[in-house]
Amino acid sequence: MLIFFTRFSLSSSSYVSWRGFSLTATAHASPLLDGIPQIGASSSFDLLPEINSTFYNQSLVCSSTKHGNDQEACCSIVRELARLGRVHETLRLFCRWNSLGQKFTKFTLCSVLSSCAKALDWHLGLQVHARIVQLGFQDNIFLNSALVDLYAKCGAIVDARKIFDGMRSKDQVAWTSILSGLSQNGDGREALVLFKDMLWSDVRPNCFTFATIISACTGLEKDLLLVLLLHAQVIKFGFERNSFVTSSLIDCYSKSGRITQAVSLFNATRERDVIILNSMITGYSDNLQGEEALRLFVEMLNDGLGATNYTLVSVLNACGSLAVLQQGRQMHSLVMKIGSDQNVFVACSLIDMYAKCGNVYDARHIFDETVDRNNILWTSMITGYAQSGRGDDALDLFERLLMEKGVKPDHMCFTAVLTACNHAGFLDRGIEYFNKMRDYGLVPELDQYACMVDLYGRNGLLRKAKELMTEMPFEPNAVIWSSFLSSCRVYGDVQLGREAANQLLKMDPSDAASYVALGNIYAEAGMWGEASKVRKMMIHKGVRKTVGWSWVEGDKRVHVFRVGDTSHPQS
């Protein structure tokens, strides 16, 4: 049985520092509370950008003394704060008034649960849940939907599912919340099953439901049929012109490698807002079509649409993939102009862009100038050093991270430093860092094992690499087998190379790179007969080697070409 503690403080994850008005300004604003029950809270709270202790204390006096513990006044204040998005103020006032024995309506408790979900405060939400049960509101559909949303967003998907399954009737919020929770917890298949149940129920999915289930399926399978079926349902329910749904579909097509379908959908969309444009720019960038991403971004600016941080990240990634330093610097100027330079995700993209363009000095300058340095920022800088062949600098920065207060290395950080060890050939340091992961409560995952297999292989320890592949608690994926195959070719191990190539061809029989690598291993070992068999097998199965392309920046343009290409006027 849950017990509601009437006197408690918010957890550190929910607490923020409060910046108030001057004492005089708040003193003048506080009397507005007196009229809240009569004139509505909106007219009062819209005037208050922040709440400080004076306003907070006077609001308590308003509710407990002047109005004689007026339930309507208290509930109005809490609901209005929640509506204005003042999450922490909402929770703080609720906690204080609840400790004074104040009663709350169902709608007020819904607002509090919504604020708990936004703050990801599972502990407070659990206690609000207990109060709901205590008041006998446990069968209320709105409260149950809010509880499902809270638990799902906090990662307590088992609790969310238990409440959802126990609901006698379910609304759109409950369905969408549980689908979103399953998606966020990586259970897209279960979300699909549940969405099918929703279609058979009497609840009609809305645009947010479709955006959620499409996002849940993104990257789940590369089967085009699944995406097409969802697209058909979107059209059936009349949401094909909704920007949230359209952007989700574009994102789903793009991340499934179906950039042609994404472009077709984008071109068929008449009204293009920032959300849809962002999805298409990201799609181009993720599918190595950086020029198209830059072109669309310029069109977006010419149409008077402002760039969001999400847009900036995608365009900077495109500049990095093309290694176009001039355009990257122009983007940096735009970032500074609109004041997004302290956004950690934009800063990470700037670091990545400069590093890929070979300008590690500017990348480090961005890192040093960023105030809020989280794990993502540290990882970006370490990776930038690794990609630039500056392994010593990468390891020095990682050692500095280990001594930094308030920052704890995660899996991504260790992947970055192990990659740096790979590029620099630091075998002993790589083994040391791999073993050190458990000191920070981290169990090595597939990415870290892949780095170690590559590290052993690059140093000629093929048997050790193969032993690690056998012992690790995962099945080796294509990335691991590919790096192992490359090492086998470098060190001329025909037997292990043949095994690696066979494993890759089982995963993807049309993988030309595996055939070519195996053929080269045979040829370099003087086994011309075997090499000839591999080439004949490629011809028989219709497998062709992918043509390699390169590009060069000149005269403010990017020129793309391939071997023997004579299409350029100056070739």
pLDDT per position as a tens digit, 139-187: 788 888 888 888 888 878 888 888 888 888 888 888 888 888 888 877 8
pLDDT of residue 288: 85
Lowest average pLDDT, out of 110-124, 357-371, 421-435, goes to: 110-124
Q: What is the pLDDT of residues 405-436, one digit of tens each?
A: 778 888 999 999 999 999 888 999 999 999 99
Q: What percentage of the chain exceeds 70 in pLDDT?
A: 77
Query: Could you say which DSSP state residue 561 is in?
Result: E
pLDDT of residue 223: 61
**How far apart, in whole angstroms, are the C-alpha atoms of residue 11 and residue 8?**
9
Average pLDDT over residues 283-293: 90
Average pLDDT over residues 381-404: 91
pLDDT at residue 43 greater than cutoff 50:
no
Do residues 308 and 274 make contact, with C-beta atoms less than 8 angstroms apart? yes
Q: 442 or 532: whose pLDDT is higher?
A: 442
For 545, the 3-state DSSP assignment is coil
Average pLDDT over residues 239-245: 87
**How far apart, in whole angstroms, are the C-alpha atoms of residue 119 and residue 117?**
5
pLDDT of residue 557: 63
pLDDT at residue 52 greater than cutoff 70:
no
- β-partners of residue 521 are none
pLDDT at residue 57 greater than cutoff 70:
no
Do residues 55 and 20 make contact, with C-beta atoms less than 8 angstroms apart? yes
**How far apart, in whole angstroms, are the C-alpha atoms of residue 351 and residue 166?**
49
pLDDT of residue 81: 67
pLDDT at residue 55 greater than cutoff 60:
no
pLDDT at residue 331 greater than cutoff 80:
yes
**How far apart, in whole angstroms, are the C-alpha atoms of residue 193 and residue 176?**
13
Lowest average pLDDT, out of 98-102, 167-171, 293-297, goes to: 98-102
**Highest mean pLDDT pick, 156-170, 219-233, 324-338:** 324-338
Q: Do strands 549-554 and 557-562 pair parallel, antiparallel, or not at all (unpaired)?
A: antiparallel
Whether the full predicted model's pTM is greater than 0.85, yes or no, is: no
**How far apart, in whole angstroms, are the C-alpha atoms of residue 551 and residue 560?**
4
pLDDT at residue 58 greater than cutoff 50:
no
**How far apart, in whole angstroms, are the C-alpha atoms of residue 280 and residue 260?**
11
Q: Look up tokens 């379908």; give the residue.
A: 261
Own/partner long-range contacts of 229-232 (Cβ < 8 Å, ≥24 apart)? none
Q: Domains of the chain (ranges plus CATH)?
A: 1-138 (no CATH), 445-571 (1.25.40.10)
Lowest average pLDDT, out of 58-62, 360-364, 435-439, goes to: 58-62
Do residues 398 and 412 make contact, with C-beta atoms less than 8 angstroms apart? no
pLDDT at residue 353 greater than cutoff 90:
yes
**How far apart, in whole angstroms, are the C-alpha atoms of residue 97 and residue 63?**
9
Closest CA to 108 of 135, 119, 122, 121: 135
pLDDT of residue 349: 94
Give the up-direction half-sphere exposure of residue 517: CA atoms within 13 A in the CB hemisphere. 28
pLDDT at residue 61 greater than cutoff 70:
no
Q: What is the pLDDT of residues 192-220, one digit of tens each?
A: 888 888 888 888 888 988 888 888 887 66
Residue 367: which pLDDT band, with cuts at 50, 70 and 90?
very high
Average pLDDT over residues 508-531: 78
Average pLDDT over residues 423-451: 92
Do residues 165 and 147 make contact, with C-beta atoms less than 8 angstroms apart? no
Q: 176 or 455: whose pLDDT is higher?
A: 455
CA atoms 126, 132, 135, 136: torsion sign: negative
Q: What is the pLDDT of residues 458-498, one digit of tens each?
A: 999 999 999 999 999 989 888 899 899 899 999 988 888 88
